[in-house]
Amino acid sequence: MKNLIPKCIGFFINVIGIIAPKYAAKLAILLFSTPKKGKIKPKELEYLKDASQEEISFENITITTYHWKGEKDTILLAHGWESNTFRWKDLIEELRVLNYNIIALDAPGHGASSGKTFNAILYADCINVVVKKFNIQTIIGHSVGGMATVFFQHKYQLKSIEKLVLLGAPANFTGVLSRYADMMGYSKRVIKAIDQHILKHYNNLPEYFTPSVFIKEISAKGLIIHDEKDRIIPFNDGIKFKENYANANFIATTGFGHGLKSKPVYQNILDFLND
């Protein structure tokens, strides 16, 4: 039943696409860009109260940030799709022990931040505002948070960014979009209309937005971690980053899945930060 619902919605959008492909594409992109989860739960709120919170405005969005103060380098944590800052709890505790200055943000449409829709391009611009506000040196991004991190640094090329950590990050937008289209069962007509919608609104076709290509123009020292059994973002995406990110170390894990929430992963990150 769970898999049937997307196909039913996709069939409905395909029917619309026969008569009004532009409108069908608009519906498909809206569905693709609207998080259904990621708001803060009561038990998560209790933990996040321990941080200093500040709201930062970007265009018509209010970005909620969290600050655990420390004396060492300032690190920004950027979560992924349908998540929020709480997903970093265990890593935050590891970083606090070592006295790092920790900043985290809730993405647009997630956590305590405002907005109803989300995409990695918008997220990248929000990251830029937060980086400049808090003078960030290192960014750790999970999943689409890693993608947005690459989009951000590729666009703004801030010299203050010294290190990037990409955890289970998508290597290309076309792969993410293709998996979505397959899940929904979109017709070729609707898929073509989606491509044209993206071209119109973002001045490029989907294949342009390829972090594993953008990464070639980033000089900050990097750490890429990807699990061989990742069921959300294929392991091969991590390999693509490895092939193109000249100034990065690559670590393949097994058994930690897409979330990569584990002591060995955190230790690899800490070793990288202390190097």
Is 98 in a helix, a strand, or coil? coil
β-pairing, 138-142 with 74-78? parallel
Report the DSSP beta bridge partners of residue 226: 252
Confidence (pLDDT) at 1: 58
Confidence (pLDDT) at 4: 85
Q: How far apart are alpha carbons 117 and 108 in whole angstroms?
A: 7
Q: How far apart are alpha carbons 218 and 120 in whole angstroms?
A: 18
Rounded to the nearest angstrom, the gap between the alpha carbon of residue 29 and the centroid of all alpha carbons in its chain is 17
Confidence (pLDDT) at 2: 62
Is 72 in a helix, a strand, or coil? coil
CB contact set of 120 (below 8 Å; sequence gap of 6+): 144, 147, 148, 151, 173, 209
The average confidence (pLDDT) of the chain is: 97
H-helix or E-strand spanning residue 151: helix 144-156
pLDDT per residue over 19-63, tens digit each? 999 999 999 999 999 999 999 999 999 999 999 999 999 999 999
Q: How confident is the model at residue 3 (pLDDT cuts 50, 70, 90)?
A: confident
Residue 87 has pLDDT above 70, yes or no: yes
Q: What are phi and psi of 104, to 5 degrees?
A: -135, 155
Please state, for a pLDDT cut of 70, what percent of the chain lies above it: 99
Residue 260 has pLDDT above 80, yes or no: yes
Q: How far apart are alpha carbons 87 and 80 in whole angstroms?
A: 9
pLDDT per residue over 203-226, tens digit each? 999 999 999 999 999 999 999 999
Confidence (pLDDT) at 116: 93
pLDDT per residue over 108-121, tens digit each? 999 999 999 999 99
- Superfamily classification of domain 33-172+210-274: Alpha/Beta hydrolase fold, catalytic domain (3.40.50.1820)
Q: How far apart are alpha carbons 22 and 13 in whole angstroms?
A: 11
